[in-house]
Amino acid sequence: MDQFSVHGLSSFEEEQANMLQNWLTQGVNATRATLGIYPTPLSLHLYPRKSNQPVPWAFTRRDKKGSVHFYVDPRFGLTKFVNDWTIYHELAHMALPYLGPEYRWLSEGFASYMQYQIMVQSGILKGTLEHRYKSKIQPHLRWFNSDLTAASIATRLMDNKQYPAAYWGSAYFFVLADNKLQKQHQISLPQLINLYQDCCRTQDHNLEEVLASLDGIIEDNLFSQLMNEFKTAPARTLYPEVFGQ
Ligand SMILES: [Zn+2]
């Protein structure tokens, strides 16, 4: 059961440390239930930070093993922590290898898409997934109503620090991928990522390898084809003006 290790609990009072340990356990279990058991144990680090929200800041460090770092305000109770999307987003990042600065937009799109998949599967999300994606993605579709490629638009939004537009605009890559998978291969994207942990996660080190592995599992070129479209086609041919149409 050393699926994850926790560091930094000694900075908190015992009762708070117990609550934080419970939160991390719940987060890891929820992520495992949706994306599978990661082949490398997670290294989770906690730091106290007074704030107006339970997890004001978090990030992943992508070195050899990888680790996730959370700044937390334990004055908020367990329920507030469990209902916060941050942990699901950060843990989702670890389902894929580090893709490099060039594909940060895709990495953030993936984690943003997956955070709600994890939350809905564990019963935390209020409302439907489709409504949630619509409300997050719709406001940013206008950036992609363009003859430029989706990859170049997402990269520029990221460079300009327009993070909600970059993250949620890029999450649309995974909306498209998940739809195609379900229609053409009777498998969902989370189910495919689950299989990916077992066969391929430890052997892949860049995006090309990830896309080849995912395509290998389904014996199709769905992912390399979609990425090719994101890099070469006008974004307006991939993105609708209204989400869901
Ligand atoms: Zn992220």
Is the same domain home to 79 and 121?
no
pLDDT of residue 2: 61
Ligand 1 centre to CA of 91 (Å) is 9
Ligand 1 centre to CA of 50 (Å) is 21
Residue 245 belongs to a domain = no
Residue 244 belongs to a domain = no
Ligand 1 centre to CA of 106 (Å) is 10
Ligand 1 centre to CA of 72 (Å) is 17
For 63, 82, 92, 161, 177, the CA distances from 42, given in Å and listed in that order, are: 12, 18, 11, 28, 27
Ligand 1 centre to CA of 235 (Å) is 23
Domain span at residue 198 reads: 101-237
Number of domains in the chain: 2
Residue 196 belongs to a domain = yes
Is the same domain home to 126 and 30?
no
What are the 10-residue block averages of pLDDT along the chain, 245 residues in total? 87 98 97 96 96 97 91 97 98 97 97 98 94 97 98 98 98 98 98 98 96 98 98 98 86
pLDDT of residue 203: 96
Residue 207 belongs to a domain = yes
Residue 126 belongs to a domain = yes
User: Smallest Cα–Cα separation from 70: which of 83, 81, 62?
Assistant: 81
Ligand 1 centre to CA of 18 (Å) is 26
Among the three residues 54, 73, 93, which one is the final residue of a domain in this structure?
Answer: 93
Is the same domain home to 48 and 114?
no
